[in-house]
Amino acid sequence: MAFTNPSRDEIKRILEETTTIAVVGLSDKPDRTSYMVSEAMKAKGYRIIPVNPNASEILGETSYASLKDIPFPIDAVNVFRRSEHTPPVAEEAAEIGAKTLWLQLGIYNDEVAAIAERAGMQLIMDRCIKVEDSILLPHGKTNS
């Protein structure tokens, strides 16, 4: 069975219920898409947790080498890695109990879909979290 992203109403609910987002592949370079998207999401009221082993801090938050190193619960994991590198990220997201796994625009992996399904995680692939948030919650989060 082919993977289908959740409905727009379901994505809106996910975003409304999400407060803390770990961003795998978040660059510390302001000209990178991962930085710009994460900066915009932080401005909208989300707590952004960088996952980048090559940085100590990004966007004012401590950067962690892996999802398993984060010492508090994460609602969603947003991934800026090439599709072929996403299955281990999905496994780690499942291990830490993330509710949602979000693969950014252009990122799609059938193995990740199977991992997310087994773990009971919501999965969104090949969509930009910033674009979806801007469309579905244009006036910001109601629960922040």
Could you give the 3-state DSSP secondary structure of residue 127? coil
Do residues 133 and 8 make contact, with C-beta atoms less than 8 angstroms apart? no
What global pTM score does this model have?
0.94
pLDDT of res. 20: 98
Would you give the distance in Å from CA 18 to the centre of its chain?
A: 10
Q: Work out the pLDDT band at 82, boundaries 50, 70, 90.
A: very high
Q: Work out the pLDDT band at 142, boundaries 50, 70, 90.
A: low
User: What element of type H or E holds 9?
Assistant: helix 8-17
- For residue range 92-103, list pLDDT tens digits in order: 999 999 999 999
Do residues 37 and 61 make contact, with C-beta atoms less than 8 angstroms apart? no
- For residue range 22-61, list pLDDT tens digits in order: 999 999 999 999 999 999 999 999 999 999 999 999 999 9
Closest among 33, 13, 31, 14 to 23, alpha carbons compared: 33
